[in-house]
Amino acid sequence: MYEPAKLTKSNQEQAVAAWVNYLNQLRLDNLLSTLNQQDMNLADALASVTAAVRKIDLEVVTTNRGGVKGMHGFIAEVAEVGVGNARRQIFGENPLYQWVNDNGPVDLMRSGVAIQQKFFAAGNRFGLGAIADHLQKYPDFVENGGKYQIPSDHFEVIQKLHAMPREEAGKLLTRTGDGPSYGDWTRVQSFFEERSLGVESLEPSHLKYSEVQMGAYGATLQSETDSLRSTDQSLRDDAYQASDPTLREGTKATLAAAAIEGGTALALAVIAKRRAGKPLKDFTREDWTDIAGEGGLGAAQGGVRGLSIYWLTNFTATPAAVASSIVTAAFGVAEQANKLRRGEIDELAFIENSELVCLETAVSALSSFVGQAIIPVPLLGAVIGNTVGVVMYKAVSSSLSKREASLIERYLGEQQIRDRHLAAEYQQLIEQLDASMSDYLGVLERAFSPDLEVALRGSVDLALELGVATDDVLDSDEKVLAYFLD
């Protein structure tokens, strides 16, 4: 019916293809999952910014909360919550910021950390004066783990001035104008020297002082929305790049396929010698050399198969089962070509054998494809499908071969009987023809005899032989006279 070794080899080939296909599918599934998750991340992030805009409009601007001088502080609190949460949500992280909104010592909460915002520009103290006032009212705020948050541009200046030595400050900050002055440096230094407070108790906001003013927050949050979309697109691009086939994964597929096919070839070579009746302990150096050669050839073919399948499935629209069959067919046709060059087969046998190889690989591909579709378990479906398909094909082809042979044999027997019967009839006809021709030639000879009397009798016989009616034959004097005189 079928050869177990060939079936094992076919299953191993389709298993390699299924494994490569599984690697590809796993990569694509991860991409789709990442993109679906990113859809939700973007929606959540944009919703946080939208909610911040709506809350500022309704609860701050419409109610004129804080008045002309203090409104931007409340805008900063709500915007910080929206922007801070959105910048985490775009990466799939949970939102951390909450607006306390009770006019108490805490403006925001972030994972249990109390935050007091100070967005002040009066007195060129970068909000440090407001922090000093808050500390006077709540002296244990920092000791209890609280943080002071100031505009990001103010925080940069304070950090720079706090770390700057006096000598450098005297040289660089004697001027006045847009940049910080020596007086600014002095105030920053005094603030930290007079209090047991380190610069680490301060942190920058996500926003600058100018970005949360009454006439600017709309553009600020719209810019944040654009930035979130840009970040989202960058994350999607990274996901696409991460899902691309790589040299590393291709190398992994090649080496794995080489190991699997080489191991299979090695095992089959050992089994073949054992079936020949040779115990394992009696294997000679030549036997092990042959076995190693089979294993090496299998490993080489496996490497080519793994690399080819990986390339075909990733860079062309070729299913893994079909890709494996293409490689198998190429190996099979190449083997037949070598036999043709060595003179072991003729051109007709080369064509017939190559067609058979391609047919068998096509059956294997179709069976594996159907099996994997019916049993969506990596490798298992392909192997079961290939086994069932190959066994059925071999059984049917064997059965058809026997039936065809029987029909041909019966047909040949009937033809032989018919040939003998026709030969006998042909011989009889030839003999009859010979006899008729002999009589005809005799009559013809008499009809044209020089002897007038013999010629006349011969003419009569010839006319009768040719089928002339007896009454019309001029075989008497009366008929002759009547024919010419009437």
Strands 108-110 and 113-117: antiparallel
Q: What is the pLDDT of residue 341?
A: 77
Q: Is the pTM of this model over 0.85?
A: no
Instruction: Give yes or no for a contact between 473 and 482, defined as CB atoms under 8 angstroms apart.
Output: no
| Contact partners, residue 221, CB within 8 Å, separation at least 6 | 49, 52, 53, 79, 82, 83
Write the secondary structure of 236-262 as one string of H (helix), E (strand) and C (coil).
Answer: HHHHHHHHCCCHHHHHHHHHHHHHHHH
Query: Could you tell me the two tokens for 164?
Result: 């700057």
- Single out the residue of 161, 134, 158, 154 nearest to residue 146, CA to CA: 134
Query: Could you tell me the two tokens for 104?
Result: 């108490």
Tell me the three state secondary structure of residue 278: coil
DSSP secondary structure string for all residues of 106-120: -SEEETTEEEEE---
Q: What is the pLDDT of residue 386?
A: 38
Helices (H) and strands (E) in the chain, counts: 14, 5
Spell out, as residue ranges, where the chain has pLDDT lower than 50. Answer: 1-2, 5, 7, 366-377, 379-401, 405, 408
Q: What is the pLDDT of residue 466?
A: 65
Phi, psi of 245 (to 5 degrees): -60, 145
| Contact partners, residue 134, CB within 8 Å, separation at least 6 | 105, 116, 118, 141, 148
- Single out the residue of 325, 296, 369, 317 nearest to residue 333, CA to CA: 325
d(CA 305, CA 312): 10
Using only C-alpha atoms, what is the Rg of the chain? 52
d(CA 178, CA 173): 11
pLDDT 10s digits, 328-350: 665 566 666 777 777 787 777 76
| Contact partners, residue 369, CB within 8 Å, separation at least 6 | 319, 321, 322, 385
| Contact partners, residue 467, CB within 8 Å, separation at least 6 | none
Instruction: Give yes or no for a contact between 328 and 390, defined as CB atoms under 8 angstroms apart.
Output: no
| Contact partners, residue 220, CB within 8 Å, separation at least 6 | 79, 207, 211, 212
C-alpha distances in Å from residue 230, one per residue of 48, 93, 280, 414:
16, 17, 67, 84
d(CA 23, CA 253): 9
- Single out the residue of 483, 482, 460 nearest to residue 473, CA to CA: 460
Tell me the three state secondary structure of residue 148: strand
Alpha carbon 294 to its chain centroid, in Å, reads: 32
Phi, psi of 345 (to 5 degrees): -135, 160
